[in-house]
Structure formats: C-alpha cells, structure tokens
A and B are shown apart, each in its own frame.
Chain A
C-alpha cells in the first residue's frame, strides 16, 4: 500500500499523454542511438534519467513560482552571455563556453527556456495595456541575447532563441500589419544579412542550393545524409543494417544527423512515425496552451510547444536537404544531455501548467 501511495505521489503532476509520447520518443531514440553509436547507449540512458528527473521536479513547480524565476533567470543568463563574449573559451572557432573552474557551461542553452519565460512574464505584467511600445520593448528583450548568441557564433541556438521569443510575441497578439511589415523588411534586409554572415555560414547556404558542387568538401554532409535517407526506401534497411550509417558515411551520425540513420534503417515508415509522434506531442502542448488559465501560462506553453516544432522541423529539414545546415539536434532523439535536459524542462513546464490550471481558476 505504501508503495502504491508513493507511486501516486510521484505520478501526481505527470500528464499521461505527454509522458506517453515522450517515452515512446525516448524508446525510439535508444533504438537509433544503439545503432548509430552503441558505445554511447549507456551514457544516453543516463542522460534520459537526468532529464526525466528534471521534468518531474519542474512539473511540481507552480506557474506562479515560475513567474518569480523569470526575471532573475533571464538577467542571470544575459550576464553569463556577456561573460562568454568577454572571457569565453574558444572551441572549433566559436566562443560558446564559459569555464566556471569546476564545470563548463553553455549559457545560450539557458536562454532557450529563459527567453519565453521572460517574455511571457513581461506580457503578463503589461497584460492590460499591450500597445506597440510593449512590443518594441519585448523585441529589444529578445534581440539582445539573440545578438550575443549569433555573435559567438552559434547560429542554431540563436535561431531557436529567436523563434522562442518570436512565438511569445506572436501569440501575445502582435498585429498582422506589423508582422507583414517585418516579413517585407526581412526580405529587404536579406542582402545586408548576407554581407554580415561569416564565410562558413554563407557556404552552408550555398551548399544547400547545390551540394554536388563540392561533393567531398562542404557538400559531403548533405549528400551523404540524403543518400542515407533515399536509400532507406519505404521499409528501411533494418536496425543496424544501414550501410551509410554503419560505414560512417553519415557525419555526426549520433548527434545532429541521427535522423539520417533513422530514415536509412527504418525507412519512410520510421520517419513518418517520428513525424506523427512529434505532431501528437505538439498537439498535446497546444491543447495545454489553449486551456491555460493565465496569459503567462498560455504564452509560455504555446511558445515551448512551438519550440519543439522548430527543433524538429529545422533538424529534419537540414538533414533531408531542404534547409541549410545549422547545429540543431533532433529533439528527444539526438545523443547529448544538454538539449535533452532543456527539452524535458519544457515538458515539465507544460505538465506544471496543465496540472495547476484548476488551482489558479479556484
């Protein structure tokens, strides 16, 4: 009986649909990671346990408490980003890490959650009089850290943080006119952005347009991952049977390009299943957002849900050759603890919002 009550207590804040979809995704992930890089299976399993623990703890925290964290976490994250820009460690040509002596942290990762938290909190505070001024302030709150991250440079994270903030602003009701104006000016600014991009970023875009132009150099990643996906066919080559994956033709096959391994070995059936799982997860997240009691929780839940989408779409898009290569992992599936923890932090927040919806209404 005691065991049963313990279980009940443990499961109390858990949302069963979200949990189910997450666990199926993690199971799928273990299958693919063990094929792509069997020696990392144990480590990834451990990463998953940590992430689930983070999720469980987060799910316990009420949205009201989360609101208290919003400003200090954001300001702290911003200060860390500034510190990175000033004293960060350089690795592979980018300044992304901050050495704290006992551990190295990547502050840009914090921003993925801190940004929607901050903006949702900001809009909640100004709920009653949202005008252009508030949106301009929100845009500044968004662009400052994004600029710092893009400058590291870490295009992938910058895009995710930008998207996270944008989703909050969009969901908060930024007028369509302004949105249309933004799109037009973005198109107009494209040449300027091009001139400001670093060479490797430019070459990624050029590579997308014509990967065969440099098949052994920059085009190699895209060509090999496309071959892997295409050669998988409908049914796939079977678990552990993908020649592109097993013979190491797919680059970074356990991290950013793991989708190519999945598609090669499990075919269209496997990749479609993954799409459906993401769609269901996103659908559940949207449902939670739609039913959320406050503006803060609505915006936060909506933004987090759409972040999952962004992760999935950008990663699968780049691996299948319709988007340029940016360093974004496949959510829940790619090997690595950091992004997994961030993702489950998001899942935990969604669960918390859902569990606490009644409390607030009362």
Chain B
C-alpha cells in the first residue's frame, strides 16, 4: 500500500489543472479562429447569402392585351373573378384542408385533380387555385369560415373571356395553362424572366400568334420573406405593363352574319378587303367555345370536341384543302388570254363531252352548250371549253400562271396551321410520288385540271386571296387579320402589312374580259338566282367540287350519302367596279355551289355593302338544281 504525500498530490493536481487550462485556451482559440474566418474573411460571401435568403422577387402579372375588331368591338377581354386559393406551405395537411373547404364551398373532383396537378408543378410558396369563379354568395360564405382555414384566401384574378363565345373561335384561338410545348416557345424567345408567374399561354389562333405582344411586361415586387416563405414587407416595386391591344381588320358583326348564314352546315368562308389584304371575316364551321379552355377544359368537353365527326377544332379556312371546282375557270381563262392561247371572241363547239386518249370527259349539260366563247364559258360554266383549253395549254403553263395567284402556297396569314394545298405540275408529281410510273405526268391528267378537279387542292384562304388579287387588278397582299398593334403605354399604333406582296402583270383588257364575265355570272349565269335583285353590281363564280369519284355515271344528289356529296363553292367580289370585299365560300358536302354557297355570299355582301341584315339565318335550300 502506497501513501501519497499531500504536497505531491496537490502539485500533481495543479499540473493536471494547468494542462486542462491550456486545452481550454487552445479550444477557445480554435473557436475564435473559426469565427474570425466566418465573420471577417468570409463575411461578404455570407452577407450575400443572407440577402438572397431574405429577398424574393414576386412577379405581378400584367393584364393581357385586348383583341378588338376593326370598329373597336371587344372580341377578347379580361374579367376579374374571385378564386379560392391555397398556399400549401401555410395550409398544413392539404387533404384535410380541402376536405374541410368542401364542406363550405362546392369542390368537385375535377377541381381537386387540377389542384393536385398545379401543386406538382409549382413552388411551395405560391398560392394555387382550388376553385375559380366563385359566386358572391360563395365568397361571403367562405369569409365567414375563413378563420378555420389558415393559408386559404380569396383572391381576385383576371380571366380571359371571349364575349362572342363560338363566333370567330378559329380566328381568335384561346389561351390555356402553360405546357412544355409553350415553355419551349418561351425559351426560344428568351422570355423566361417575363413569364415568371404567368400561368397562361396562347394555344391557337391570334392568341398564339401574337402571344408575346398580348402578354405585356411582368412587374416585380421585391419582398422580404421569412424562412416559411411568408412575405413580411415590400421593399420595392416595379409595376407591370399591360399587354398590347390587337385591332383586327375583321368586322365582328360581319363575321357573325357569315357564321349564321352557314346554319348548321360545315364549311369555311374567308372575306378579304382587296385593296389592303385585310381579312374581314374568317369563318370555319362548326366552331367551338374558346372560353372552355381558359382554366383547363374538362375531359368531357374535350372528348366531345375531339371525337365529333364534324371536327369543330379544325380550322377549315386555313387547314382544309379542297378542289376548287369551277371557281378555277376564270383564272384558266385569264391564263389563256395572257399566254395567247385564246382570245375572248374565239369560240368552240361543245357537243356535251370531250374525248381524249379514248376517255370521254362529260359536260354537265346534256347535249352541250353549243357554240361557246370565253364569256359564255364562264357565265354558264362550260366544262368542255376548259377541257380543250387545258389540253392546249399543258400542265406546266397552267401551274406557272396559277402559282402567281398564290395557289398551292401558304398565304402567310397571321395565324398558324395553314396547309399548302396542291398545285399540280410535272415537278410536283415527281416529288410527290415514289414509283417511277406514278411520277410521270400523263397528258390526260391535264384535262380535268382545267375545271378545278384532278389533283387540284386549295385552302379557302388561298381561293379568297386569289379572287381578292383578281379584284385588285393583280396587286396582291398577304392576307392578314391584325390591322395594327397598339402599345398600351405610349398609345402608338404599329400597323401590320401595309405594302403589297407583289403585283402580277396582267393586261387591263384581259382583266376587263374576265371581270365582265364574272359580273355576267351573277347577272345572267349560275349566280343569277342568288343575286337576284341585288342593289349593287357583283362579280362571282360558282363551283362544285367532287368528293366522290363518279365513274361515268350521272351524279345524283339524292343517291349519295351526305358525306359523299359534292362540296359547294362560290367566289365573289363587289362592288364590281370598286371592289370593297372579295370572298370565297365553301360548304362541305353542300351540293351545287350556286345553290348552297352563293346565297351565303349574298348575305355577307348585302350586310357589308348595304348594312342589310338577313331575314332568316339559313338560306332557302329548295331551289332547283342548276347548271354549274
């Protein structure tokens, strides 16, 4: 057993204590060094990070620009509506909160579905709508129960509204929630900062084409936020700038008159002001209600629109390509005059058919039209005259002339989704077909080209552009819907498309010959019945395009299923000497052009030139079949 000396023991203890004291000093020095490093050397870096932490830029959405017709009538506007919104970071258990809300305000499963989708796509501190368009009663009811729902608020938001509903739907288009496709477009334009907080994007029509004009400048609020993302106070604010307004060349009333004239038939109408190329009306029937899309279309409506055999979502005026039928003849005649293959006075004899290469091409009139000059060939729409003319001109002469009028090319109108159509030529056939024997052009194929059949296929807007160009003596414009864009900040208007695209050189006497013939159509020819008693002089041409190929049989409307019936066409301009309006009408499976399409044109012209309202929406359909 060892006894320790107390002195020694105390000394030993004090050594240990001194050692511990040294350790304490070392540790505190280490701490000090760490603090010095953070607070002196790294201060700038952490100061910036603290600033980034506390400051958040909250976007303030601009009002979307309005769309106005040529007379200032509002066709697309914004309205403020109450929405019920949840800020997920403050609401606690979301499912429980929504269940609780559902006891106060009606919340449908589709609202929940939409909310969940939004939640997946959003950042946590955004407030997201669970219900839109609350009624005043619902707002009052919620406010009484508000204390039960932290993080749930009523907010006033702007919604897009199309006051004319189905009218002009294909032209205006609609907006919908931004998707990946839209994000690509935004990225392409480097517009991401301006789209922070934006929920909607133009999907079709003008809303898409002029999206970046309509959107406006997003404003920002510099907000101090806490760790939970709650705004504590506003530090500074840059106000948003309202989007630019679009003023259209379209006349909203004319548009409606034209749409009503179609009744429940399918088809398209494009009316153009020949002197400017401005589109006065652009109709595709049937239409749809763009308001359905604004805050997410429900599956039921979506399926209804997409599965309808009438295809209401297709813009027939731009996207549909149809054989022009006899509306092609005036251009054929003009080409013949210009190339010198015919004179106006030159006549042919029409026995009722034309034989070529062992094939008989029939004329619609049994027994034929007898002796036919150019005027009569147009006014009575004599097929045999054009069978012969086609053969005399050859396919490439036809194609080269027609190309100048814009046939078979996109017009470049300011909405998307245009088809090219088909302007047949040797070259086209070579490109379009794969097998060598199909790539060859056969002379027999040229014959029916002259009456607007065969491979011919054009969009209604191409037909309208062509007749407008003819009416304007060959001065051609790019058809356009927007007249000018108004900067809402400066009030300055930026006009669109003031210069003609090109001028087709045409001899005035040739133009005069064709115009006189077209006037004759509405006076004493196939359009005479539709234009009986008109208080202005108009020029027109009827057309009927075959859908169903008849193999030498006589076409009989009653025996062919509705969808197999011919398409009815009509092109026109008026007044004939100083054209203010030119148009092309197409009625799908409408039968004869004179019967189905011309009366629609009459109503449109009557309203536009005289301000006359039609007596009944649907034109009489009882007229006897006429020569076309």
Residues of A at the B interface (CB closer than 8 Å) are: 127-131, 167, 170-171, 173, 224, 226-234, 243-244, 247-249, 263, 267-268, 271-272, 275, 278-279, 282-283, 286, 289-290, 295, 298, 302, 306, 309, 313, 316-317, 320-322
Contacts and interface: CB of A to CB of B under 8 A. Distances in A.
A309 B24 contact: yes
A279 B25 contact: yes
Given A173-B13, A279-B25, A313-B28, A230 B53 contact: no
A243 to B, nearest CB: 5
Given A129-B1, A129-B2, A231-B43, 14 more contacts: A170-B20, A171-B13, A173-B13, A226-B46, A229-B35, A229-B46, A244-B54, A249-B53, A267-B39, A271-B35, A279-B25, A302-B16, A317-B31, A317-B34
Given A233-B47, A298-B13, A275 B39 contact: no
Interface string B5-18: 00001101110110
A230 B38 contact: yes
Contacts of A249: 50, 53-54, 226-227
A124 B605 CA distance: 119
Contact of A230 (B12, B30, B46): B46
Contacts of A230: 38-39, 42-43, 45-47, 49-50
Nearest to B45: A230
B620 interface: no
B125 interface: no
Contacts of B47: 230-231, 233
The 3 closest A-B pairs by CB, nearest first: A230-B46, A231-B50, A247-B226
Contacts of A295: 9, 13
Interface of B: 1-4, 9-10, 12-14, 16-17, 20-21, 24-25, 27-28, 30-32, 34-36, 38-40, 42-43, 45-47, 49-51, 53-54, 224-228, 232
Contacts of A127: 4
Contacts of A226: 38, 46
B53 A244 contact: yes
Given A129-B2, A230-B47, A313-B27, A247 B224 contact: yes
A247 B227 contact: yes
21 contacts: A129-B3, A131-B2, A227-B46, A228-B50, A230-B39, A230-B43, A231-B50, A243-B50, A247-B225, A247-B232, A249-B227, A275-B32, A286-B20, A295-B9, A298-B13, A302-B13, A302-B16, A302-B20, A306-B24, A313-B31, A320-B34
B35 A233 contact: no
A244 B43 CA distance: 14
Contacts of A131: 2
A321 B34 CA distance: 9
A247 to B, nearest CB: 4
Contacts of B53: 224, 227, 243-244, 247, 249
A14 to B, nearest CB: 23
Nearest to B35: A271
A233 B16 contact: no
A320 B35 contact: yes
Contacts of A306: 20, 24
Contact of A247 (B40, B49, B54): B54
Q: Which of A226, A227, A234, A279 has the most CB of B within 10 A?
A: A227
